[in-house]
Chain A
């Protein structure tokens, strides 16, 4: 059985990455050693990564190691979700800078500990004021501030 979960999963991850790049390179011309095609470098690197991944995964069976700390899904999903939310609100949804900043900070704060609506709301407004002054007003970054502007 798997005795070293860290190594086992890391190995699988590298096998997927290396294998993926090596397989993806099949579409491109390989070229020769003198005139390397676009597939040459990724094929070599991908194959080595695949082999190293395999070694690491096998070591998951042969060595013992402590289990990785359990995944904390709540902060992980909320924080990365809030980042994606910001992207969605600003670009395809055109909600504008103000709405995106407030929604993003509250969602992000929710992923932390000791969350309170009041605190998050106040914080988001303060951050909005700071970011508007710094990025939009002074640096002139081209953000649409409100949906109608």
Chain B
């Protein structure tokens, strides 16, 4: 745990800054809101009105049902080994085609945060993270389980996650509208630069080789532009296959690389098989008063860290959870308790990863820019439903936007119920051996891919990307940057073309427009930062540690 200590020093310094930013942000919004209300109709702020609309939408029976289905499936995936949220969302996308946009997106969102919630159950009970975001929970969660305190660990994890989810939802409601306002000012140049920044940030946070991650992004961008060119009508790289003139389906890419390739990797390692693992018994769920007292601080700090990491482009929940663990260990009076079942080590990271899972919807819903593989899939889902992702979603489809936000909060509440009283059901699922599980998963993927266009071509492509993904992972290339690039490819090309057309071919347009220039400078700084030997070393330490625990 040496690297933990080292990065702890660093964390402590930035944490104060983060708190200051959060406090300032809250104060600014309270102030702005106060002015707005004082000027206009009193006692009814815009946010309140919007949230009211959201809850009316989210509490409709259909939306409630799909929110529940999403959370349920998400938890199931979180508990089941060897299948992640990306593959599941890709698998279930075709099912949502028949639904109206709002319940479809509510369900997909539910799967995502449900999975980040449910992954903690296996971490605590069997010392195996159901999702990569719960690797940190294994450290102290499992030790608590060994001491017969699995129940309190699960309860605190659920409560922390619920608190974090609530804060995350409020933040989306607060930050969404002003960010969308800002995004309306964006022209083609700003959009292009923002995508560059998003992709660079994704690379910085990817583990492993920097060059390989960039090359994976470029590969994704290239694969993304396969198909008919919008401007000239020329079909690019279609090899005479008529299905390819519409482009490669992103569902096939996601299913292949995150579904089939993952399954082969799991079979190889046999790690995913939990049938032989030793289980911790769940006796009583109720945490003691002492547990509560110890957990309040970590939950609040973890939530703050998680919200920040969620909004930043390219970061994922693992980093949030890991930073929170490091921070708690640093702040603890007896750091030696960590690793031996300290409840702070469960409360903090669990809150952090759930907060990050919520707030990463902010850039998606306001700017139309995905920050990770799951968000890239959400963009795809929106496009299929005929919604162009971007700031106009909020103004043109307020019921969808606010309905989704309200449903996230409701979903978080459902998750507490799903995870605590029903824990014995999940334990049952945990005992299914992997060799029984994976053919079913593959079959669902096949049916899903086929029903995209009722054609076997998508099934073949999914298999092809599975093979590609397997080879790529053997050679140390991660699939997430590729999927991100894949979704952004056509958008980037279009905005680049438009920006250059407006500027009459002058590439300086990206530097003379202030917002665009600022984004490019941040992107350059990020790249420069990890090239510096000192920070590079730290990055490798943190990322390998969070991978390997």
Query: Is the beta-carbon distance between A68 and B496 smaller than 8 angstroms?
Result: no
Kindly state the separation between the CA atoms of A41 and B475 in the bound complex, as whole angstroms: 27
In this assembly, does A17 line the interface, its C-beta being within 8 Å of a C-beta of chain B? yes
- From A14, A29, A36, A69, B474 is in contact (CB under 8 Å) with A69
- From B225, B231, B459, B501, A83 is in contact (CB under 8 Å) with B459
Query: Is the beta-carbon distance between B496 and A41 smaller than 8 angstroms?
Result: yes
Q: A69-B268, A72-B268, A83-B462 are in contact. List 5 more A-B contacts (CB 8 A).
A: A13-B471, A38-B232, A75-B267, A111-B267, A115-B435
Closest A residue by C-beta to B237? A24
Query: Is the beta-carbon distance between A13 and B472 smaller than 8 angstroms?
Result: yes
Kindly state the separation between the CA atoms of A108 and B435 in the bound complex, as whole angstroms: 10
Interface string of B118-160 (1 = CB under 8 A from A): 0000000000000000000000000000000000000000000
Chain A's nearest CB lies how many Å from the CB of B75?
A: 18
Chain B's nearest CB lies how many Å from the CB of A91?
A: 4
Query: Is the beta-carbon distance between A34 and B474 smaller than 8 angstroms?
Result: no
Grouping DSSP codes into helix (H, G, I), strand (E, B) and loop, the A interface class, with mixed when no group exceeds half, is helix
Kindly state the separation between the CA atoms of A109 and B471 in the bound complex, as whole angstroms: 21
Interface string of B426-461 (1 = CB under 8 A from A): 000000001110111011111100110011110110
CB contact list, B366-408 vs A, under 8 A: none
In this assembly, does A141 line the interface, its C-beta being within 8 Å of a C-beta of chain B? yes
Chain B's nearest CB lies how many Å from the CB of A62?
A: 13
Query: Is the beta-carbon distance between A34 and B504 smaller than 8 angstroms?
Result: yes
Kindly state the separation between the CA atoms of A5 and B263 in the bound complex, as whole angstroms: 23
Interface string of A72-116 (1 = CB under 8 A from B): 100110011011101110111000000001001100110111110
- From B232, B234, B442, B507, A108 is in contact (CB under 8 Å) with B442
Query: Is the beta-carbon distance between A7 and B209 smaller than 8 angstroms?
Result: yes
Kindly state the separation between the CA atoms of A7 and B212 in the bound complex, as whole angstroms: 8
Query: Is the beta-carbon distance between B476 and A6 smaller than 8 angstroms?
Result: yes
Query: Is the beta-carbon distance between B268 and A112 smaller than 8 angstroms?
Result: no
Q: Give chain A residues whose Cβ lies under 8 Å from the Cβ of B470.
A: 76
Kindly state the separation between the CA atoms of A41 and B382 in the bound complex, as whole angstroms: 25
In this assembly, does B221 line the interface, its C-beta being within 8 Å of a C-beta of chain A? yes
Query: Is the beta-carbon distance between A72 and B264 smaller than 8 angstroms?
Result: yes
Query: Is the beta-carbon distance between B435 and A113 smaller than 8 angstroms?
Result: yes
Report how many residues on chain A are interfacial, defined by Cβ distance under 8 Å: 69
Chain B's nearest CB lies how many Å from the CB of A128?
A: 9
Query: Is the beta-carbon distance between B222 and A68 smaller than 8 angstroms?
Result: no
Query: Is the beta-carbon distance between B459 and A56 smaller than 8 angstroms?
Result: no
Kindly state the separation between the CA atoms of A20 and B456 in the bound complex, as whole angstroms: 25
Closest A residue by C-beta to B441? A108
Kindly state the separation between the CA atoms of A28 and B228 in the bound complex, as whole angstroms: 12
A-B residue pairs, 9 tightest by C-beta: A91-B456, A87-B456, A87-B459, A34-B505, A10-B475, A33-B505, A38-B229, A108-B439, A83-B463
- From B94, B219, B232, B237, A49 is in contact (CB under 8 Å) with B219
Query: Is the beta-carbon distance between A55 and B211 smaller than 8 angstroms?
Result: yes
CB contact list, B501-538 vs A, under 8 A: 501, 504-505, 507
Q: Give chain B residues whose Cβ lies under 8 Å from the Cβ of A79.
A: 260, 263-264, 267, 438, 442, 466
Question: A52 and B214 in contact (CB under 8 A), knowing A32-B505, A34-B505, A42-B236?
Answer: yes
Query: Is the beta-carbon distance between A34 and B501 smaller than 8 angstroms?
Result: yes
Closest B residue by C-beta to A109? B439
Q: Give chain A residues whose Cβ lies under 8 Å from the Cβ of B493.
A: 41
Closest B residue by C-beta to A17? B219
Chain A's nearest CB lies how many Å from the CB of B367?
A: 22
Q: Give chain A residues whose Cβ lies under 8 Å from the Cβ of B463.
A: 80, 83-84, 87
Chain A's nearest CB lies how many Å from the CB of B93?
A: 13
Kindly state the separation between the CA atoms of A99 and B457 in the bound complex, as whole angstroms: 19
Closest B residue by C-beta to A67? B474
Query: Is the beta-carbon distance between B472 and A82 smaller than 8 angstroms?
Result: no
Query: Is the beta-carbon distance between B475 and A9 smaller than 8 angstroms?
Result: yes
Query: Is the beta-carbon distance between A71 and B474 smaller than 8 angstroms?
Result: yes
Question: A83 and B215 in contact (CB under 8 A), knowing A29-B232, A38-B229?
Answer: no
Query: Is the beta-carbon distance between B500 and A42 smaller than 8 angstroms?
Result: no
Kindly state the separation between the CA atoms of A127 and B222 in the bound complex, as whole angstroms: 37
Query: Is the beta-carbon distance between B472 and A10 smaller than 8 angstroms?
Result: yes
Kindly state the separation between the CA atoms of A92 and B460 in the bound complex, as whole angstroms: 12
Query: Is the beta-carbon distance between A42 and B260 smaller than 8 angstroms?
Result: no
